[in-house]
Amino acid sequence: MEKLSFEESIEQLEDIVNKLENGDVPLDEAIDEFEKAMELVKVCNEKLNNAEESIAKIVKDNDKLIEFNINE
Amino acid sequence: MEEKHLTVSQINAYINKKMKFDVNLKNIYVKGEISNYKTYSSGHSYFTLKDKKSQISGVMFKYNKRSLKFEPKDGMKVIIKGKIEVYEKDGKYQLYATRITEDGIGELHIAFEQLKKKLKKEGLFDDVHKKQIPAFPRKIGVVTASTGAAIKDIITTIKRRYPYCEILVFSTLVQGDQAAPQIIRQIRHAQEYDLDTLIVGRGGGSIEDLWPFNEESVAREIYACKIPIISAVGHEIDYTISDFVADLRAPTPTAAAELAVPELKEIKNTIKQIDEKLIKTMENRIAHNKNRLDYIAKKQIFKNPESIYEIKEMHLDNLINKIEFTSKNIITKNKNQLQQLKNSFILKNPNEIIKRKKESYYRNIDKLEVLNPLLTLKRGYSIAEKDGEIISSVDDVKVGDEVKIKLDDGTINTKVI
């Protein structure tokens, strides 16, 4: 689950919500899906809370990356 | 002495006549900047054309305006084709325009329109080719000048909204002849990185400054790029070929950054909403099922589980009763039958049967007596036999045959003579 991209996680979450809202999922399956969704919410929140500040780098012609200092 | 005088009309008419004869004023091109441009309800437009030192009034009549490809605006540098004539009523001369073209960029403008038409016809602008811009990018590339204001705006905006992605800057010249090949090279270079979105653009400038983004080669490179591209060239009002061919056009570099990344607050909100929705849905679901369970649990059968057995036992008793009753019936019936037989007259009086049989026997013997041939012999009759056969005709015998004559009390052996 950790390997999912943030976008995929959100998509899966939305899928599960729709599925559960329809109500035609058997209860056992619904509980499994719910647990999965809770896990996804947790992962997403972790990703967001642990997100490091965006870093900007200049890509040189030789593919060397140099940090971009916005104040220069 | 009274001096000879002219009327105002006369002098204006004279000047008008003079100027009309001057071929130098008949078919001229005048270069300047437009100001006070106004179009009246008649459809005619009036303006002032000026340079740094001087100005001249101008007019363009409605029927000449049909050739205009753009609406002239104040501040525009133009070249006007026309003639100079006097407007006698006001006593002033003015420029009567038959054609207005933009100064200097006229050719670029034409080139722009031609390229736009050509690429559009080829389908390069079609929506089917537009790639979706990822909603949650992890890596964003920017092809622009690393020294310009545009890159600063983009980085600042992305950092403010969404501290969750890496920004790679592919620096390039963004104006001048060398810009287009560099932009192309950097778009290609960017594709070697695992980018989610690429922003290509620059800050505001004159049409000449923005021109690299109107180059066909740049447009085709943007079209061919595998990464979704947001173009961000100049200001809101500037449209370039790159904008048309890109997957998404942003009016400014800052707007491009806003289009490229979501706002963290919004995402957090979205997740919170999803979370709440999930829990609510699940709670409802569980509550509903609990109600169902309660309803079932309240049924009589669960309150008195013995009743399951009671019913079965009753059924069993019923069956046993039936079996007992039925078997009793059968036995009684058979007993009765037996009794009836026992009671029957015949079984009670076997001698009666013997008596009956004897009587019948004697009756039959009497009958036989009547038929017995030996009784006939007793009355004096005899029976003649030859070789055991009864002789019933004289023809049955010939002379010499031995004949036995049977009488009641014996046999006489005779011979036919």
DSSP line for A12-59: HHHHHHHHHHH--S-HHHHHHHHHHHHHHHHHHHHHHHTPPPP-EEEE
Structural tokens at position B95:
């420029």
- Is A2 part of a structural domain of the chain? no
State the CB neighbour count (10 A cutoff) for residue A29: 11
Q: pLDDT > 70: what percent of chain B?
A: 97
| Over residues B306-334, mean pLDDT | 87
pLDDT for the residue numbered A2: 58
Residue A71 belongs to a domain: no
Whether residue B380 is predicted with pLDDT greater than 80 in this model: the reply is no
Q: Which domain holds residue A40?
A: 28-59
Q: What is chain A's length?
A: 72
Q: What confidence score (pLDDT) does residue B256 get?
A: 95
pLDDT at B376: 73
What per-residue confidence (pLDDT) applies to B192? 94
Residue B1 scores a pLDDT above 60: no
Q: Which of B134, B163, B271 sits opposite A7 (nearest CB)?
A: B134
What is the per-residue pLDDT for A41?
87
Of B363, B116, B335, the closest CA to residue B242 belongs to B116
Number of structural domains (chain A) is: 1
Across the range B387-406, mean pLDDT stands at 85
Q: What pLDDT is stored for residue B230 in this prediction?
A: 97
Q: Which residues of A touch B134 (CB under 8 A)?
A: 7
pLDDT band, very low/low/confident/very high, at B140 (cuts 50, 70, 90)? very high
Q: Is residue A43 part of a domain?
A: yes
Which of B328, B124, B320 minimizes the C-alpha distance to B231? B124
Question: Is the model's pLDDT at B2 over the cut of 70?
Answer: no
Average pLDDT (B64-84) is 85
Using pLDDT thresholds of 50, 70 and 90, give the confidence band for residue B242.
very high
Three-state secondary structure string covering chain B:
CCCCCCCHHHHHHHHHHHHHCCHHHCCEEEEEEEEEEEECCCCCEEEEEECCCCEEEEEECHHHHCCCCCCCCCCCEEEEEEEEEEECCCCEEEEEEEEEEECCCHHHHHHHHHHHHHHHHHCCCCHHHCCCCCCCCCEEEEEECCCCHHHHHHHHHHHHHCCCCEEEEEECCCCCCCHHHHHHHHHHHHCCCCCCEEEEEECCCCHHHHHHHHCHHHHHHHHHCCCCEEEEECCCCCCCHHHHHCCEEECCHHHHHHHHCCCHHHHHHHHHHHHHHHHHHHHHHHHHHHHHHHHHHCCHHHHCCHHHHHHHHHHHHHHHHHHHHHHHHHHHHHHHHHHHHHHCHHHHCHHHHHHHHHHHHHHHHHHHHHHCCHHHHHCCCCEEEECCEECCCHHHCCCCCEEEEEECCEEEEEECC
**Residues B184-204 pLDDT 10s:** 999 999 999 999 999 999 998
Put simply, the answer to whether B164 touches A57 (Cβ < 8 Å) is no
Quick check: is A36 in a domain? yes
For residues B249-254, average pLDDT: 94
Cβ contact B100:B126 at 8 Å = no
B259 pLDDT tier (thresholds 50, 70, 90): very high
- What pLDDT does residue B246 have? 96
B275 → closest Cβ in A41, A47, A55: A41
Q: Which of A7, A63, A68 sits opposite B155 (nearest CB)?
A: A68
pLDDT for B26 beyond 80: yes
ipTM: 0.76
Q: For tokens 């960017």, name the residue.
A: B190
- Residue range B1-27: mean pLDDT, rounded: 86
Residue B141 pLDDT more than 90? yes
What are chain B's domains? Answer: 8-105 (2.40.50.140), 110-126+135-262 (3.40.50.261), 373-415 (no CATH)
Is residue A8 in a domain? no
Mean pLDDT computed over B214-223: 94
Q: Specify which of B131-135, B229-233, B274-278 reaches the highest per-range mean pLDDT.
A: B229-233
Low-confidence ranges of chain A (pLDDT < 50): none
Q: Which residue has the higher pLDDT, B399 or B244?
A: B244
Q: Do B165 and A54 touch (CB under 8 A)?
A: yes
pTM of the model: 0.53
Decide if A59 and B152 are in contact by the 8 Å CB cutoff: no
Is the residue at A12 inside a domain? no
Residues B220-238, mean pLDDT to the nearest whole number: 92
State the Cα–Cα distance between residues B60 and B42, nearest whole angstrom: 11
Residues B144-168 have pLDDT tens digits of 999 888 999 999 999 888 877 899 9
Residue in B151, B168, B271 closest to A59 by CB: B168
Residue A64 covered by a domain? no
What's the mean pLDDT when you consider all of chain B?
87
Minimum Cα–Cα distance from B278: chain A residue: A17
Contact B274 A13 (CB under 8 A): yes
Q: Is the pLDDT of residue B303 over 90?
A: no
Nearest C-alpha in B relative to A26: B285
Q: Is residue A35 part of a domain?
A: yes
Amino acid code (one letter) for B84: I
How many angstroms separate the CA of residue A1 from the nearest CA in chain B?
A: 16
Asked if the model's pLDDT at residue B67 lies above 70, the reply is: yes
Interface test with B, best of A6, A9, A31, A38 (most B CBs within 10 A): A6
Confidence band of B402 (pLDDT split at 50, 70, 90): confident
Task: Give the confidence band of B169 by pLDDT, cuts at 50, 70, 90.
Answer: very high
pLDDT score of B234 more than 80: yes
Segment B345-368 shows an average pLDDT of 80
Quote the pLDDT of residue B347.
64
Task: Sort out which chain B residues have CB atoms less than 8 A from A52's CB and list them.
Answer: 163
Q: Output the pLDDT for position B12.
A: 92
